[in-house]
Amino acid sequence: MTTTGYVFHPEYLWHDTGTSAGLLPANPTAGVQPAMHVENPEAKRRVHELIHACGLLGELMIIEPRRATVAELTRVHTETYVQHIKTQSELRRGGGDAGDGFSPVGHGSYDIARLAAGGLIELVTAAVHGDITNGYALVRPPGHHATADAGMGFCLFNSIAVAARHAQAELGLARVAVVDWDAHHGNGTQAIFDDDPSVLTISLHQAGCFPPDSGWTHENGTGDGTGYALNVPLPPGSGHAAYLHAMHQVVLPALDRFAPDLILLANGFDAGVFDPLARQMLTAASYREMTRLLVGAADRLCHGRLIAAHEGGYSPFYTPYCALTFSKNSPAPPPTSPTLSPLSSPATPPNPSPPNNKPSSARPRNSCPASRRPSRPPEKRPHPRDDREHEGCRRHHRDPARRGGWADYSAFIHVYARG
Ligand code: 3YP
Ligand code: ZN
């Protein structure tokens, strides 16, 4: 019998990241209109609401978070850094930052970040005590970029690192594995455990996305920790099949060899197909299958102890469907419905386009001087949709095993809501 623990607290939604303009600071004077910061409460609020609306809340064991103490935080972070976040958090008008200009510290965020780290501690403790098998912490702020002495990439305290150290120091666990499939490199976690062979870190991410020059395959740990950091940088657009391949070829064999006592998961949903901050094209079905594989590894290796911390995931519409996978009754994938998918083109288009041989005079006039290039002879090639050349590509993209059924979330909610 599997029991899944769940940590959530309204205060997580009160972490106030203010306004910005995408990755730019808002600057009305310069014509840069303020918008909600991308790391705002909405996506995570909707995850919680979907869990509730689907009736999953009753299946989960609610674990109450508490605030991590300074002593627990300083197993990972320097005293100076913890104090810095406290000071920034005391600024009354907001505007605080953890270090890189990308990591807002709202008023009171010190306590909220401690509640996030403490939530992870409580989940890990419940798993080791046998109250739960695995668990999911729906926390803000995120943590995986935060190093010992610097916040970055929206992260204040590295909650997963704090929980890993707590498991070793207080709960008697020897080896902890951290799997990080957030679309961005888990550089903070890697740096914190870089020279430590008792913590294996594995990060799957979009190559060179964030931090910009970080997470390459040659980063494998240092000193005694050499070989205990693994990186799988994947090109933009990698998608379902590439991630599943990496899981089977790298993550699962490494976990089997390392034989952890606990697996922690930096569960970022920003590798999802609709995410604004990465291009990894994963679907709810991808997350479900990857989660299933990790649950299997944890069952095999460490009494099922798999504890996930929510990291990125910025599509308020899609993130909740990706996050639903962490349920004890994760059902088989729903049947894929290609007709639901805006991306899947029918095998034969109903109205094949005419060959692209219109004379250039038929195109709309463009008065921009930059567009007045010497006219090229019209292309003779048939339009790709007219020939059979791309049938293989179309079949490839319709293949549910590759596509992951990304548009199926209407079927998905049906499966959850009605059993
Ligand atoms: C931080 C600033 C630019 C990209 C952004 C990434 C944050 C994130 O989701 N990290 O996992
Ligand atoms: Zn991310």
Q: List, for residues 347-365, the tens digit of each pLDDT value.
A: 333 333 333 443 333 333 3
Q: How far is CA 222 from CA 178, 192, 195, 218, 335, in A?
A: 17, 11, 5, 11, 46
Catalytic residue status for 145: yes
Question: What domains can you pick out in the chain, each with its CATH number?
Answer: 4-326 (3.40.800.20), 361-417 (no CATH)
What are 142-182's pLDDT values in tens digits? 999 999 999 999 999 999 999 999 999 999 999 999 999 99
Question: Which burial class, exposed, middle or buried, applies to 53 when counting CB atoms under 10 A from its CB (0-12, 13-18, 19+)?
Answer: middle
Please pick, among 37, 84, 145, 184, the residue that the annotation labels catalytic: 145
**What is the reported pLDDT for 16?**
96
Give me the helix-helix angle, 284-301 and 239-246, nearest 10°. Answer: 10
CA distance 132 to 297: 16
What are 51-76's pLDDT values in tens digits? 999 889 999 999 999 999 999 999 99
**What is the reported pLDDT for 404?**
45
How sure is the predictor about 25, in pLDDT bands with cuts at 50, 70 and 90? confident
User: What is the distance between the terminal CA atoms of the chain, rounded to a whole angstrom?
Assistant: 19
Atom 5, ligand 1: residue with shortest CA distance: 153
Of all residues in the chain, the percent with pLDDT exceeding 70 is 78
Ligand 1 atom closest to Cα of 144?
Answer: 11
How sure is the predictor about 388, in pLDDT bands with cuts at 50, 70 and 90? low
* Distance from chain centroid for Cα 1: 28
How sure is the predictor about 99, in pLDDT bands with cuts at 50, 70 and 90? confident
How sure is the predictor about 335, in pLDDT bands with cuts at 50, 70 and 90? very low
Residue indicated by tokens 């494998």? 220
Q: How far is the CA of 323 from the centre of ligand 2 (A)?
A: 14
Residue indicated by tokens 């010992």? 148
201 CB contacts (<8 Å, ≥6 apart)? 177, 178, 180, 186, 189, 190, 193, 228, 229, 230
In terms of phi and psi (left: phi > 0; alpha: psi -120 to 50; beta: otherwise), the region of 201 is beta
Q: Which of 75-89, 105-119, 376-390 has the lowest mean pLDDT?
A: 376-390
The total number of residues shown for the chain amounts to 419
Provide the 10 A C-beta neighbour count for residue 80. 10
Cβ of residue 153 lying under 6 Å from some atom of ligand 1: yes
**pLDDT, the chain, mean:** 84
150 CB contacts (<8 Å, ≥6 apart)? 81, 98, 99, 100
Mean pLDDT of 271-276: 97
What are 193-224's pLDDT values in tens digits? 999 999 999 999 999 999 999 999 999 999 99
Strand partners, 153: none
Question: Which burial class, exposed, middle or buried, applies to 258 when counting CB atoms under 10 A from its CB (0-12, 13-18, 19+)?
Answer: buried
Q: Which amino acid is at 308?
A: A
For 15-108, where are the alpha helices, taking DSSP H only? 42-53, 70-73, 79-90
Mean pLDDT of 324-349: 40
3-state SS, residue 196: coil
Cis peptide before 10 (omega within 30 of 0): no
3-state SS, residue 270: coil
Ligand 1 atom closest to Cα of 270?
Answer: 9
Q: Which amino acid is at 241?
A: A
Residues 126 and 305 sit within 8 Å (Cβ to Cβ): no
Mean pLDDT of 88-94: 87
**What is the reported pLDDT for 399?**
52
pLDDT, greater one: 278 or 401: 278
From 145, 152, 160, 187, give the residue whose CB has the most ligand 1 atoms within 8 Å, as the site to mutate: 145
pLDDT, greater one: 298 or 330: 298
Question: Which burial class, exposed, middle or buried, applies to 111 when counting CB atoms under 10 A from its CB (0-12, 13-18, 19+)?
Answer: middle
